[in-house]
Structure 1
C-alpha cells in the first residue's frame, strides 16, 4: 500500500484557481482507496477552511485530511513543555490551532514567539516580536517559504517575514514546516505508513521535495507552482536535489505512477 503527502498551494490550486487535473487526482486516490494527507506550509487557514476552499474549487475532501504547519507548530510546542504563553505573528489558522492546544495568546512575557504568514505584518509587529525574543522567548516559525503562488503571481511568504525578524533579533527560529523533519514526521505518523511507502508530491523543490527526501519518502515534483517548465532546471540546480519523478501536472504523475506498476 502506497500513501501520499500532497502539497496545496501550487499543487492543487493557485490562489482561487484550481490547477488542472487536481479534482481528478483526488478522485483517483479515493477510487483506489489510497491513503493521503494534504500537508500545507500555509498557516493562515484552519483545516475546515482549507476543505471549504477546495470544495469551492470542485475538490471534495474531509477536513481531517488536511494537516497544516499551524497544527504542527502547536503540536511541537505541546511536546516541548516550555510554558504556554505565546506571542503570535500570524493569521486565524495559527491562532485557532494554538488555542485548540491550550496556549495563552498575548501578555508581556511570552515563552514563545510563533510566527507564520501575516498579511498585515508591520514595523510595529516586527518591533514587538524582536523585543520578546531579546527578552528570552523562543522563536518558532511555522514554515520557511519565502514566496507563495497566488492569483496574480508569487507573493512573499512567512519565510520572508522571518528573514526580517531574524536579522533584527539575531535569533534563528525552530522551523516546523517543510522541509523540516518536524512536520514530516508528524504527517507520516498520521498517515500510518512507513516512510518508504509514502510519496511526497509538491511544486517546491526546496520545501516539498527536500522535506520528502530527508524523511525517506519518494518524491514527485509537479511543474504547476513555484517550479515550472521554464525554471525547473534552475530550481533543481539551486536545491542540489533530483526528485524521483518530474511531472507536468498531477495527471502526468498518475500516468508515470501507473507505469511503475505501483498499484
Structure 2
C-alpha cells in the first residue's frame, strides 16, 4: 500500500541551521498493516509523516501509494487519500465552524467526484453524519449545529478521527494523537481508533511514546533514530519481544540507548 524508497530530506541546507531530518529511509507497508512507531524527539517520525502527506517535497527518493508515484503530488491532492491526525486536538478541525460543517468539509474533500465540491450537503448526508457521531458515545449527534471550538480536546480529537476516516483513506497516519489528552479520554479515543481501524481494515502508521502500545497494537513495530528506521519487526518475532528486548534492539541497532523520558516512564508505569 505504501512504499518509501530511499527518501531523504535536509532542512536549511548550506546554513548553520542545516538539519538532515530523513536519511535514506525505505519502508514497505502492506495493505492492512497497522504499524506502531517509537523513537526519541527529533528521530524523524513526524518528518516522515509530513513527507508522506506532502507538507514538503523530499530531496531524494520516491513515495508510492497504492501503486501510484505521489512524490511530487501536491498536499491537498494527497489529502483525499491520506488521513492524518496530530498530537494537538486543535489542528484537525475549524473551531468557528459547526460540527456539521466540519464533517461536510471532510466528506467533500475526500470525495472522488469533482462536481461534489460544489454541491450542497443533502439530508441523507446529514443523517449519515448523525449516525457516525452517535458511534462516539459522546452526545455530539445532538450538538451538530454547535461550533467545534466549544468541544473538549478529547471530543475534538474523536471528531477529527471520524472526519479522517469518513471516506476510507488509503492510509491513516496517527502522530501521537492521544498524547495531549487526559488518561481516561486518551484511552477512550484509543479504543475508538482500534475499532475503526479493525472494522474498516485500514492501513495505518501510528507514532506512540508508550512502549506497551508499541508492542501490543497492530501487527508491526518500527523504531526510528537520526532520521532512519533502525528496527522493524513483525509476526512471531514481534510477539515474543518484551519491552526490555525492544530497548535492547534499539541500543544495538542505533548504537546508543534510547533516551526519552516519556517512553521510559511508560515502561516503568506498568
- Whether TM exceeds 0.5 here: the answer is no
Report the TM-score, using the length of structure 1 for normalisation. Answer: 0.34
